[in-house]
Amino acid sequence: MPQIERHTGVLVMTSGITHTDGISYVSPSAAELLDGLATAVLLLDNGRRVHYLNSAAEGLLNVSANRAAGQLAEELLGMGAVLQGAVLAAAMGQTTTFREIEIQQGSASRGKEESIRVDCTVSPFPAGVDSSWVLAELVTIEPLAPAARASDWREHHAATHHIIQALAHEIKNPLGGLRGAAQLLNRQQSTADFQDYTDIIIREADRLTKLVDRMTGPRKLHAWELFNLHEALEHVRHLIEAEFKGKIEVQRDYDPSIPDATGHKEYLIQAILNVARNAAQAVDGRGEIQFRTRVRRQFTVGQRRYRHVLEASIRDAGPGIPLELQEKIFLPMITDRPDGTGLGLALAREMVNRQGGAIECTSRPGDTRFTFFLPVVSNS
């Protein structure tokens, strides 16, 4: 297989394959170049077995290069006879392109596959007849980047947030005066019945003040820190299981290879807790919800592309969110529960966005998922 070497400042591709224990490896310099591509690239032998995935392919297919090595490509991609014919054509020096073909994302053997649509090009590598290698390139039809809508939402949310802050200021001022007057009456009147009424006024004023503070979100975020995402999820899991008195079981599907997150751990815990509490309520406070983590590579959040992005999803099997609410579920005062305030998800998104991340929601009856995308920011 070609390797890339540097000669007098020019990148030159030379022929050669490195074999170790029956597995072929790309030279480090070539691997770095391939990992920098947004296009998913797979290297197959003429027996259709996978020998290499770049980072974009790992993210797209939701599988590590080590796990994929040696697998039949048609089993990994779910393309069957279509891919077999393309590989045979590549052995004769022909390139085949499939438009908008459906492949699977994940491992069918583990029962976690999902379908995605891609353009797939299968070509001999290097180009020519009787090549021993096949290059498969996959380009997503609908990019996995969360929220191409994220930047639009931020603009909309910024305007909404300014309105909420102005309203909060107008509400808190009379609440403070009301509480002060109630305290004054409490000191001047000695009867127990009268004090009961003034105590109610004071408690309700305090409750409304806290509610307004929640609407405006945290005033100031502390310094960023490195933290383990799984520790944050486990903290939330213990809180949920305690709050619902053991009637909610949290199933965990964690990727042990994920790096540390960068951001504000306490605010992320609160954001995850808001979403997890909604998931538990969606199944009527009994049953199962799922926490899942993965790493996305060469992934875009908002308008910025990151080498690695952490993905944490919370799934429930409740009745789902009504279609008419799904586009605005993160806006303040939007809720499908009679007893809901409509603030939990709005605040969760606010806290995550302040850390450069994003939240997405997909919902249908029996399968509602809220997914957090958290960029890994390198200090180097």
Q: What is the pLDDT of residues 127-137, one digit of tens each?
A: 665 667 888 99
Question: CB-based contacts of 344: which residues, under 8 Å, 6+ apart?
Answer: 274, 275, 277, 278
pLDDT of residue 317: 92
pLDDT of residue 230: 96
Q: Which 8-state DSSP code applies to residue 72?
A: B
pLDDT of residue 143: 46
pLDDT of residue 6: 32
pLDDT of residue 142: 53
pLDDT of residue 313: 95
Q: Are strands 248-253 and 287-301 parallel, antiparallel or unpaired?
A: parallel
Residue 123 parent element (H or E): strand 114-125
Cis peptide before 126 (omega within 30 of 0): yes
Measure Cα distances from 187 to 195, 202, 234 in Å.
9, 13, 47
Lookup result for tokens 């939402």:
153
pLDDT of residue 233: 96
pLDDT of residue 329: 81
Cite the beta strand spans of 260-342 per DSSP E: 261-263, 287-301, 304-316
Asked whether the CA dihedral 338, 243, 260, 350 is positive or negative, the reply is positive
- Edge-to-edge strand order for the sheet containing 248-253? 248-253, 287-301, 304-316, 367-375, 358-364
pLDDT of residue 84: 82
pLDDT of residue 246: 81
Low-confidence stretches of the chain (pLDDT beneath 70)? 1-31, 106-114, 127-131, 141-169, 190, 211-212, 214-223, 333, 335-342, 378-380
Angstrom distance (rounded) from CA 361 to CA 313: 9
Angstrom distance (rounded) from CA 104 to CA 43: 18
Torsion, CA 110, CA 114, CA 115, CA 117, rounded to 10:
-110
Write the pLDDT tens digit of every residue in 75-107. 888 877 778 888 888 888 888 888 878 887 765
